[in-house]
Chain A
Amino acid sequence: MQIQSLYQEIILDHYRNPHHKGLREPFDAEVHHVNPTCGDEVTLRVTLKDAGGDPVVTDVSYDALGCSISQASASVMSDLVIGKPVSEAMRISQEFLNLMQSKGEATPDESTLEDAVAFAGVSRYPARIKCALLGWMAWKDATGRALDETTGRAS
Chain B
Amino acid sequence: MTLDVARARKDFPILDRQVRGGKPLIYLDSANTSQKPRQVIDAISGFYERHNANIHRATHELGEEATAAYEGARVKVAGFIGARDEAEIVFTKNISEAINLVAYSLGNASAGAPSPERFRLGPGDEIVVTEMEHHSDLVPWQLLCQRTGATLRWFGVTPDGRLDLSALDDLINERTRLVALVHQSNVLGTINPVRMIADRAHAVGALVLADAAQSVPHMPVDVQDLGADFVGFTGHKMCGPTGIGVLWARRELLEEMPPFLGGGEMIETVWMDHSTFAAPPHKFEAGTMPIAEAAGLAAAIDYLNETGLESIHAHEQALLKDALTQLAAIEGLRILGPAEPADRGTAISFEVDGVHPHDVSQVLDGLGIAVRAGHHCAWPLHRALGVQASTRASFYLYNTHEEVAALAEGIRQARKFFGVS
A39 adjacent to chain B (CB < 8 Å)? yes
- Contact in complex: B358, A128 (CB < 8 Å): yes
Given contacts A40-B358, A66-B358, 4 further A-B contacts (CB under 8 A): A7-B417, A38-B375, A39-B382, A39-B389
Interface range on chain A: under 10, 10 to 19, 20 to 34, or 35 or more?
Answer: 20 to 34
- Contact in complex: B366, A66 (CB < 8 Å): no
- Once the chains are docked, how many angstroms separate the CA of A41 from the CA of B356? 12
- Contact in complex: B362, A39 (CB < 8 Å): no
Interface residues of B (CB under 8 A from A): 20-21, 356-359, 362-363, 365-367, 373-375, 379, 382, 388-389, 413, 417-419
Q: Report A-chain residues with C-beta under 8 Å of the C-beta of B365.
A: 3
Query: Min CB distance, A85 to chain B, in Å?
Result: 33
A131 adjacent to chain B (CB < 8 Å)? yes
- Contact in complex: A38, B362 (CB < 8 Å): no
A-B contact pairs, 7 of them (CB 8 A): A3-B365, A38-B375, A39-B382, A39-B389, A65-B388, A68-B359, A69-B359
- Once the chains are docked, how many angstroms separate the CA of A71 from the CA of B363? 17
- Contact in complex: A67, B356 (CB < 8 Å): yes
- Once the chains are docked, how many angstroms separate the CA of A57 from the CA of B419? 34
Q: Report A-chain residues with C-beta under 8 Å of the C-beta of B356.
A: 66-68
- Contact in complex: B358, A38 (CB < 8 Å): yes
Decide yes or no: A67 and B359 within 8 Å by CB, A2-B20, A39-B388 being known contacts. Answer: yes
Interface residues of A (CB under 8 A from B): 1-3, 6-7, 12, 16, 36-41, 65-69, 125, 127-128, 131
- Contact in complex: B417, A131 (CB < 8 Å): no
A128 partner, pick from B362, B366, B375, B419, beta carbons under 8 A: B362
- Once the chains are docked, how many angstroms separate the CA of A131 from the CA of B359? 11
Q: Report A-chain residues with C-beta under 8 Å of the C-beta of B358.
A: 38, 40, 66-69, 127-128, 131
- Once the chains are docked, how many angstroms separate the CA of A38 from the CA of B360? 12
A67 partner, pick from B357, B382, B419, beta carbons under 8 A: B357
Q: Report B-chain residues with C-beta under 8 Å of the C-beta of A127.
A: 358
- Contact in complex: B374, A39 (CB < 8 Å): yes
Q: Report B-chain residues with C-beta under 8 Å of the C-beta of A131.
A: 358
Q: Report A-chain residues with C-beta under 8 Å of the C-beta of B413.
A: 1
Residue of B nearest to A66 (CB): B356
- Once the chains are docked, how many angstroms separate the CA of A6 from the CA of B374? 19
Q: Report B-chain residues with C-beta under 8 Å of the C-beta of A39.
A: 357, 374-375, 379, 382, 388-389
Q: Report A-chain residues with C-beta under 8 Å of the C-beta of B373.
A: 38
- Once the chains are docked, how many angstroms separate the CA of A131 from the CA of B362? 13
**Which of B20, B21, B389 has most chain A Cβ within 10 Å?**
B389
Q: Report A-chain residues with C-beta under 8 Å of the C-beta of B419.
A: 12, 16
- Once the chains are docked, how many angstroms separate the CA of A1 from the CA of B20? 10
A3 partner, pick from B362, B375, B379, B389, beta carbons under 8 A: B362
**Which of A36, A38, A40, A125 has most chain B Cβ within 10 Å?**
A38
Residue of B nearest to A5 (CB): B366
Query: Min CB distance, B296 to chain A, in Å?
Result: 28
- Once the chains are docked, how many angstroms separate the CA of A39 from the CA of B374? 5
- Once the chains are docked, how many angstroms separate the CA of A40 from the CA of B356? 9
- Once the chains are docked, how many angstroms separate the CA of A69 from the CA of B417? 14
Q: Report A-chain residues with C-beta under 8 Å of the C-beta of B418.
A: 12, 68
B374 partner, pick from A1, A12, A37, A65, beta carbons under 8 A: A37
- Contact in complex: A2, B366 (CB < 8 Å): yes
Decide yes or no: A38 and B389 within 8 Å by CB, A2-B20, A7-B417, A16-B419 being known contacts. Answer: yes
Q: Report B-chain residues with C-beta under 8 Å of the C-beta of A6.
A: 362
Query: Min CB distance, A123 to chain B, in Å?
Result: 15
- Once the chains are docked, how many angstroms separate the CA of A16 from the CA of B356? 12
**Which of A3, A39, A65, A67 has most chain B Cβ within 10 Å?**
A39
User: Which are the 4 A-B pairs with shortest beta-carbon distances?
Assistant: A39-B389, A67-B358, A67-B356, A3-B366
Query: Min CB distance, B136 to chain A, in Å?
Result: 15
